[in-house]
Amino acid sequence: MLKIGITGGIGSGKSTISKVFEVLGIPVFYADDAAKEVMTADPVLISALKETFGDEAYFSDGSLNRKYIANIVFNDPQQLAKLNAITHPAVFRAFDTWLEQTHHAPYVMKEAALMFESGSAKLCDKNILVYAPLAMRIDRVVKRDNLSKAEVESRNARQFTDEQKMKLADYVITNDDSQLVIPQVLALHQQFLTMAAGK
């Protein structure tokens, strides 16, 4: 099964572009959504989170105390690294389980904000970067999520720079309003169908 990773900085439009691939019949695994799910569904992960951050990491009903964890990791890179080291393997396990249920597709996609940072790009055959200039991305997120510019910049600072990602990506989709996105997606879709047929 051909596996294609898709990533991009905050506000780049990677989720929107992933939806276009879904319209073309390609299953997409959304790693960030899966991370939220496994935090209340994966017993190994739950146990590790409680051990690392204390029983207060979860409410008595089993739901995750997101605010409590966010307060610990938000301004502490070491604590954030611990959280990621616990969470990423659980997301990888969820991806493997999901893959077993998607045999019908010519290829599949994995969408993740931290594709290169988490090492999950290595699990994909090819990787796409969705690119838009930083100022445009910040503007989009400020409008979309009602956040301040400083909050968006802080989130973006936790990710690799666009220059770093460009060097690691196999393909780039430009989403800066200067060229149409759909033709770029269709061209890649055809390439991936050809690659999948040859596998």
- CB 109 within 8 Å of CB 27: yes
The domain boundary, picked from 67, 101, 135, lies at 101
Residue 199 has pLDDT above 80, yes or no: no
Q: How confident is the model at residue 147 (pLDDT cuts 50, 70, 90)?
A: confident
Q: Is the pLDDT of residue 132 over 90?
A: yes
Judged against a pLDDT cut of 90, whether residue 52 lies above it is answered with yes
Residues 6+ apart with CB under 8 A from 86: 45, 48, 49, 52
For the chain, what is the mean pLDDT?
A: 93
What residue numbers bound the domain in which 138 lies?
Answer: 1-27+107-199
Distance CA 125, CA 106 (A): 13
Which pair of tokens denotes residue 20?
Answer: 């276009």
pLDDT-derived band at 63 (thresholds 50, 70, 90) equals: very high
Give the three-state DSSP class for 106. Answer: coil
Per residue in 81-114, pLDDT tens? 899 899 988 998 999 999 998 888 999 999 999 8
In angstroms, the CA 68 to CA 43 distance is: 20
Q: Where a domain ends, among 84, 101, 118? A: 101
Q: Is 162 left (phi over 0), alpha (psi -120 to 50) or beta?
A: alpha
**Does one domain contain both 61 and 113?**
no
pLDDT at 75 over 80: no
**Do 42 and 85 fall within a single domain?**
yes
